[in-house]
Amino acid sequence: MNPVRSPLASELFAQWQRARGGRLEPAARPFSRGWEELLEKAGLVSATERADAERDARALEAGAWVELKPVAYRPHLINRISIPLAAEAKWGEAFGFVPPSDEEARQIREFPWEPALSFVRDARLNVSFAELLLLNGFLKRGGRDLVPIKERSLEIFGDEKRLDALVASALFRDGRLDAKRDFRCESIGVPLAWKRGPSPAATQPLIVIENAATWHSYCRWNTDRFSAVVYGDGNRFFDGIRYLPDLFNELGGPRRILYFGDLDPQGLRIPQEASTRARSLGLPPVEPHLWSYRQLLKLGHAQPWEGDPAPPTLCDWLADCAEPARQLFATRQRLAQEHVGWEFLQGAQETD
């Protein structure tokens, strides 16, 4: 498979680049990351995203792009993923990062770069002289409105994805280039998908659902409970929350933001980090839909949690569900929100 098309592979390559300091030179040991850590950093936390990531990882392994280490005594689960030393060169080639030729290196050292790019004379980067010239040309023109990063990338490179890849490289390490400051662009996040509630629910809170299957079931269940059912799309909700003011305008004004997601550490980090972002934007905080979490704790059959342990305070957001959640996490287990599915909901009466 082509790793450039995989969100998992793109994050793995970006982390590898940062760890290598932007150099594609032979290393002593293969680059390796914990599976759960990589999924979290890539924002692949919903059930669908995790399944797609595992499929991509297996395909990459079959093509000798990566090596996978299984969880002890659970060979069907992935514990770590690594890039073999022999595959590093083809990773760099696939993502367009190859060492400059001797002539390019000389040109990079001698060219009169704009101040923001002057560090490239002494840095050992795997970016061509031609691409650096395109970046320099934009810096020289300067003075632009803030736009989505893909629009700026298309303007500079004729390729809407190239700047995303460069932003993850050593070119944009702390103290070097900054996308917003130097190139007047930003990642805008995926817009929120949502379904308006029926007329009797027009003044009710809205609810954000982490995963697609549960979102579909809650839309069917919503006779008079929520003014809107919003698809959070896992970790993308943190960036997508910037679109809530538009949604409020459609609904006729602000209202409470309720949330229901998986009961695992990452499933609790998503709404709490989104709530901090919401407050910074002048929006209401994100609150747990406690009835849903209570049902999940009653109905669910726990699955193993292979990620990092949760700090005890992470569960405080859940109010009266906090202690049962802490006990669940203490046993290294999780509950998927899909347990609160349509067959249960159609006979349920919501009483908080």
Domains and CATH numbers, the chain: 1-97 (1.10.10), 99-188 (no CATH), 193-345 (no CATH)
- Indicate the SS3 state at residue 218: helix
C-alpha distances in Å from residue 238, one per residue of 135, 161, 241, 281: 29, 21, 6, 12
List, as one string, the DSSP characters of 90-156. Answer: HHHHHTT--PPPHHHHHHHHHS---GGGGGGGTS-----HHHHHHHHHHHHH-----EEHHHHHHHH
Task: Please identify which residue in the block is written with the tokens 């809530």.
Answer: 244
Helix (H) or strand (E) holding 258: strand 257-260
pLDDT of residue 73: 77
CB atoms within 10 A of CB 270: 26
For residues 100 and 98, give the distance between their C-alpha atoms in angstroms, rounded to a whole number: 6
Angle between helices 47-62 and 212-221 (to 10 degrees): 160
Long-range contacts of 104-108 (CB under 8 A, 24+ apart): 104/128, 104/129, 108/132
For residues 339 and 214, give the distance between their C-alpha atoms in angstroms, rounded to a whole number: 9
Read off φ and ψ for residue 189, nearest 5 degrees: 80, 165
Query: What is the 8-class DSSP label of residue 43?
Result: T
Task: Please tell me the number of Cα atoms within 13 Å of 134 on its side-chain side.
Answer: 15
C-alpha distances in Å from residue 337, one per residue of 120, 150, 213, 293, 314: 48, 33, 9, 8, 18
Structure tokens at 278: 């919401």
Question: pTM score > 0.85 for this model?
Answer: no
Task: Please tell me the number of Cα atoms within 13 Å of 46 on its side-chain side.
Answer: 19
CB 241 within 8 A of CB 267: no
Tens-digit pLDDT string for the chain (352 aa): 788 888 899 889 988 887 776 555 666 789 999 998 898 888 787 777 888 899 999 999 999 999 999 988 788 889 999 999 999 989 988 888 888 888 999 999 999 999 999 999 998 888 899 999 999 999 999 878 999 999 999 999 999 989 988 988 889 988 899 999 999 999 888 889 999 999 999 999 999 999 999 999 999 999 999 999 999 988 889 889 999 999 999 999 999 999 999 999 989 999 999 999 999 999 999 999 999 999 999 997 898 887 777 888 999 999 999 999 999 999 999 999 999 999 999 988 765 4
Tell me the one-letter amino acid at 85: L
pLDDT of residue 202: 94
List, as one string, the DSSP characters of 112-126. Answer: ---GGGGGGGTS---
